[in-house]
Amino acid sequence: MYSITLIPGDGIGPEVTHSAKRVIEATGLKISWDIVNAGADVYKDRGVLVPDEVFESLEKNRIALKGPITTPVGCGFRSINVLLRKKYDLFSNIRPVKKIPGIETPFKDVDLVIFRENTEDLYSGIERSTSEDSAEAVKVITRKASLRIAKKAFEYAEKNNRKKVTAVHKANIMKLTDGLFLDCAREISKTYPDIEYEEVIIDNMCMQLVMNPSRFQVIVTTNLYGDILSDLCAGLVGGLGIVPGANIGEDMAIFEAVHGSAPDIAGKNIANPTALILSGAMMLNYIGETEKADAIADAVSKTISEGKYITMDLGGSSSTSDMTDAIIEKILESKQINTVLV
Ligand code: NAD
């Protein structure tokens, strides 16, 4: 029996985390879910954004499945997502972007993984007004953080038979900060002579990705570029509804979709649950339940390629719960087939 923290979040968070929980349970895995929440809704009820039980649960279980949490634009509180990533040093933000058959896009094969540094850069939270009409933000890049994210990207490439790692930067302009990041990526690349290493400037990278995304396999980059490229890459494979993610540190991991709380569709039972379900599959891989993770990925893929029960963002008309039911059905079918074969 695993003990896992579940943070529903807000907006579409509660709907898609509920779907992911149901799908994971359908694999037969025994999980004791520790359900705790944070964010604006919690603040309204209890006057606190991140109650102590969230930290306690994370520190006890060291693993969580999390829905998106809204962050106010311009003013208001800082991002709870950034807070958790920094507090627990979840330095690797890993986002696999893969074409799923059945989703119409201009590209035949997209299969890349983004390794985004998750703890520093312009997300350092160091910002100040310098006068009524000007403000500045501090971009923090350190050798330690750059080396470890580059190492994770190369380790992943080696383990998963990926032939190339692309470091994305703007060191032509930010010579010290992005320059340091590139130095670190180069240093790590030298220890992996069998993996091709290339460097691409962020603006060129955006163009290359929308022209020929299949030329990329593993992308390693700083926090802000990684954030932006993640949404861009989601657009290459059918949108934010399908791209999962993980925030991984040395001894804790939080799994969550790339997408946010999608307030425009919240509470309507129309959000695509795929991204959070696949984040759940990544979580199962992380704990070594690879067969169950594969069963989930397979069920999602079959459901989407059949096209009968898919949500609006994928061109269908099914609700979140109908699509979830269809995925669960596929898992149960495959379990029956496996039982017969045994
Ligand atoms: P968003 O990702 O929430 O939505 C962007 C667009 O994609 C919207 O049109 C939305 O309807 C659509 N979309 C997103 N997820 C979808 C899904 N599962 N199914 C179908 N359509 C989906 O981005 P946003 O609107 O810029 O951000 C909303 C809020 O979420 C902001 O407060 C932002 O700070 C927050 N956010 C949180 C996280 C997180 O918790 N990790 C990540 C990103 C954004």
Which CATH number fits the domain that encloses residue 201?
Answer: 3.40.718.10
Residues 200 and 82 in one domain: no
User: Do 216 and 259 have their domain in common?
Assistant: no
| Cα of 194 from ligand 1 centre, angstroms | 38
User: Could you tell me if residue 316 is inside a domain?
Assistant: yes
203 and 276 share one domain: no
Is 227 known to be catalytic?
A: yes
Does residue 111 form part of some domain? yes
What letter does residue 214 receive in the DSSP assignment? G
From the list 280, 290, 289, 275, the residue with the least C-alpha distance to 323 is 275
Domain boundary among 197, 214, 237: 237
Give residue 231's domain range. Answer: 106-237
* Residue 270 falls inside a structural domain: yes
Query: Rounded distance, CA 35 to CA 226, Å?
Result: 29
In a domain, 290, yes or no: yes
> Of 163, 203, 268, 308, which residue is the catalytic one?
203
Closest residue CA from atom 31 of ligand 1: 70
Index of the ligand 1 atom closest to the CA of residue 16: 18
Rg (CA), the chain: 20
Q: Examine the domain organization and report whether 17 and 47 are in the same domain.
A: yes
Residue 217 in domain: yes
Counting from 1 in the atom list of ligand 1, the atom nearest the Cα of 257 is 41
- Using CA atoms, how far residue 279 sits from 124, 125, 154, 273, 305, in Å, is 26, 27, 21, 10, 19
Residues 309 and 299 in one domain: yes
Q: Token pair for residue 166?
A: 């692309």
Active-site residue flag, 170: yes
Residue 157 tokens, joined: 């490439």
246 and 228 within one domain: no
Centre of ligand 1 to C-alpha 195, Å, is 34
Q: Which of 215, 237, 259 is the last residue of a domain?
A: 237
Residue 100 domain-assigned (yes or no): no
Pocket-testing residue among 259, 311, 319, ligand 1, by greatest number of atoms within 8 A of Cβ: 259
Alpha carbon distance 161, 113 (integer Å): 12
Q: Are residues 115 and 200 in the same domain?
A: yes
What's the distance, Cα to Cα, between the start and end of the chain in Å? 24
Residue 339 is predicted with a pLDDT of 67
Report CA(10)–ligand 1 centroid distance (Å): 11
pTM of the model: 0.96
Written as tens digits, the pLDDT of the chain (342 aa) is 999 999 999 999 999 999 999 999 999 999 999 999 998 889 888 888 999 999 999 999 999 999 999 987 877 778 899 999 999 999 999 999 999 999 999 998 999 999 999 999 999 889 999 999 999 999 999 999 999 999 999 999 999 999 999 999 999 999 999 999 999 999 999 999 999 999 999 999 999 999 999 999 999 999 999 999 999 999 999 999 999 999 999 999 999 999 999 999 999 999 999 999 999 999 999 999 999 999 999 999 999 999 999 999 999 999 999 999 999 999 999 877 776 665
Say if ligand 1 is within 6 A of residue 247 CB.
no
Q: Which two tokens mark 311?
A: 């949500």
Counting beta carbons within 10 angstroms of the beta carbon of residue 196, is it exposed (0 to 12), middle (13 to 18) or buried (19 or more)?
Answer: middle
Instruction: Evaluate the CA torsion angle 121, 79, 256, 264 in order and state its sign.
Output: negative
175 catalytically annotated: no
21, 66, 152, 170: which one is catalytic? 170
Residue where a domain terminates, one of 220, 237, 254: 237
132 and 189 together in one domain: yes
Which residue do the tokens 């993984």 mark?
Answer: 113
77 plus 132 within the same structural domain:
no
231 and 176 together in one domain: yes
Q: How many domains does one find in the chain?
A: 2
Same domain (yes/no): 242, 335: yes
Report CA(259)–ligand 1 centroid distance (Å).
4
